[in-house]
A and B are shown apart, each in its own frame.
Chain A
Amino acid sequence: METLLAFVIGGLYAAGFYMMVRRSIVKMIFGLALLGNAANLLIFTMGRLVRGRPPLVPLGAGEPVPPFADPLTQALILTAIVIGFGVQAFALVLIKRVYDEVGTDDLDEMNTTDTERGRSRKSRIPR
């Protein structure tokens, strides 16, 4: 099972990076989401996979009987998922705003502040 997950994680990373090197910002955000999921699955797998053994202390015993599923990795992933959700939601709104402002989803067009040509176009500096 761990081997299978290793391949899944590798595939997710590959797909994520492939999406990120595309020029469209929409694909880039999808790539970011895939990377986040790959990292979460990686943490999950690093906690070793145990089926059907919740980390519960049996009645009367002092500690759970091994092997049991590691609760800490699950807590970590839960936190990471929540953070990832928030950040991705922000990123989605951001690309919508970028599209409204710039009028294209091509990353190569987003260099007005970097080039002489772009700067000479009237770009407003906020104070």
Chain B
Amino acid sequence: MPHVVILPILIPLVTAIASIFARKRRRLQRLISVCGAAALSSASLLLLATVWREGIKTLQVGSWPAPFGIALVADLFSAMMVAVAGLMGLSVVVFSLESADSEHEEIGYHPLLHILLLGVCGSFVTGDLFNLYVWFEVMLIASFVLLALGGSRGQMEGAIKYVTLNLIASSFLLAAIGILYGVAGTLNLADLARHLRILPHSGLITVLATLFLVAFGIKAAIFPLFFWLPASYHTPPVAISAIFAGLLTKVGVYALIRVFTLLFIQDVDYSHNLILMISGLTMVTGVLGAVAQNDFRRILSFHIISQVGYMILGLGLYTPLALAGSIFYIVHHIIVKTNLFLVSGIVLRLRGTLELSRLGELYRGSPGLALLFLVPALSLAGLPPLSGFWAKLILVRAGLEQGSYAIVAAALAVGFLTLFSMTKIWTEAFWKVSPAVGEGSSAPSLRELSSGARLLLLAPPLLLAALTVAIGLAAEPLFALSMEAARQLLNPEAYIEAVLGQTP
């Protein structure tokens, strides 16, 4: 079934179009949105199963033979990313059935969410560099509108920074693609990999690698290019923050891993050591930024940055185990981070603020919610037996094997500081006596919500928390998947052969 590769693109596209036409009928639109998200996540799991059983799947769009047409390629890494993206899409769509403003739904919340998923999935499965740029733009324009939807002052201020810095990244990417085309004469990833292998290594290739590092680095929010993220992620409605936090930076990380395992492997000593140094700085600055914050979502936003450091740490080490660690980390992080943002959404719903100084006593009113926060929070910090522990363990082990003790020390210290900020949220929001709720009056509780609202708000975080625990208790299947994906990444011949056919 070769067409399974295009399903993750087709389904969100069709859903988005259908839900635009249903915009006058709210219930129908919501139904289409949920069905589309469910279909996307099943299709993406089907893709993952197919790729796991049969190896790399490719589809030449319009039957133009590679490298002339656009190739869609799903290797195990892509398929895993698509699968997690589909799952996050479904969780956020269900969550936003209750959390989204009816006003936002009327002006196109659901179509935009699906167009965002379209861009994300497209970026994961494309095998063509210019096509990747186009998918990035699809994703960006949807995220721009979602970020500004509603138009409060904070959102406007966040949006202007987000839009500008991301557009600069796009223009860098475009310039890098242009120069690469001038050098190699092709933009098909597999074909490029073959050409760059033959070309004599020159300074121009290093410049190109750095340009791509900057362009994707801005999108992935690595040090020192992350400033757009903490300036904007705390402003939009929470469901939107959650999907942004889960998926957008990870598309940048995916693109970095893709080009630095497939294309720019001529000068590993220089480029990957640079990435390793950046990863250390990203981890440390991100977590230090978080320590200084006093807002639920701003703390979480800064932690995205520090976690991106872990993800590219594996790329910098550039061994099979390290790359497997990176992939494991990305999957774990997407699940956990989306979950934390969703929990913050429930807190906002109960208390109307996310300012830690004005929160408190959530534990007394809703202990279940507190537990729901604690699972992803401890997983983020890397405590056993949760998914984050294994993710960190693999990376630390890979670092020790390479003898990179400094970076391992940084990773462990950052894990400790992560735990510190999670306990800060815990004590401030859940434990301390609330300034708003006086002595004797009732603490805010989930019971005040209607049962339907409770179900819609709690089901997605519960599912994700269960997934975190499941990965933590049975890490072996995901580790085997990550290991196999890393092996595919480090042997680009299979990728090239799958796209171009037998190489002469």
Contacts and interface: CB of A to CB of B under 8 A. Distances in A.
B134 interface: yes
A114 B231 contact: yes
Given A36-B174, A83-B134, A114-B231, 19 more contacts: A20-B164, A35-B171, A42-B179, A47-B182, A76-B178, A80-B174, A86-B141, A94-B156, A94-B159, A94-B160, A97-B151, A102-B153, A112-B153, A112-B157, A113-B157, A123-B153, A125-B154, A127-B238, A127-B349
B431 interface: no
A47 B354 CA distance: 52
Contacts of A69: none
B235 interface: yes
A87 B141 contact: yes
B140 interface: yes
A110 B155 contact: no
A91 B167 contact: yes
A119 B178 contact: no
Nearest to B166: A87
Nearest to A83: B137
B168 interface: yes
A38 B174 CA distance: 10
Contact of B237 (A32, A76, A126): A126
Contacts of A5: none
Interface in B146-182: 148, 150-161, 163-164, 167-168, 170-171, 174-175, 177-179, 181-182
Contacts, number: 129
A40 B174 CA distance: 8
14 contacts: A25-B160, A38-B175, A43-B181, A47-B181, A72-B181, A76-B130, A86-B141, A87-B144, A95-B160, A97-B151, A98-B156, A101-B153, A107-B160, A111-B157
A35 B168 contact: yes
A87 B175 contact: no
B178 A102 contact: no
A20 B171 CA distance: 13
B101 interface: yes
B353 interface: yes
Interface residues of A, number: 43
Interface of A: 20, 25, 28, 32, 35-36, 38-40, 42-43, 45-48, 72-73, 76, 79-80, 83, 86-87, 90-91, 94-95, 97-98, 101-102, 107, 110-114, 119, 123-127
Top 8 A-B pairs, shortest CB-CB distance: A46-B182, A43-B178, A110-B157, A39-B174, A113-B154, A35-B171, A98-B156, A39-B175
A125 B164 CA distance: 22
B234 interface: yes
B65 to A, nearest CB: 16
Contact of A119 (B130, B158, B355): B355
A124 to B, nearest CB: 5
B41 interface: no
A40 B133 CA distance: 13
B159 A87 contact: no
Given A94-B144, A126-B152, A43 B157 contact: no
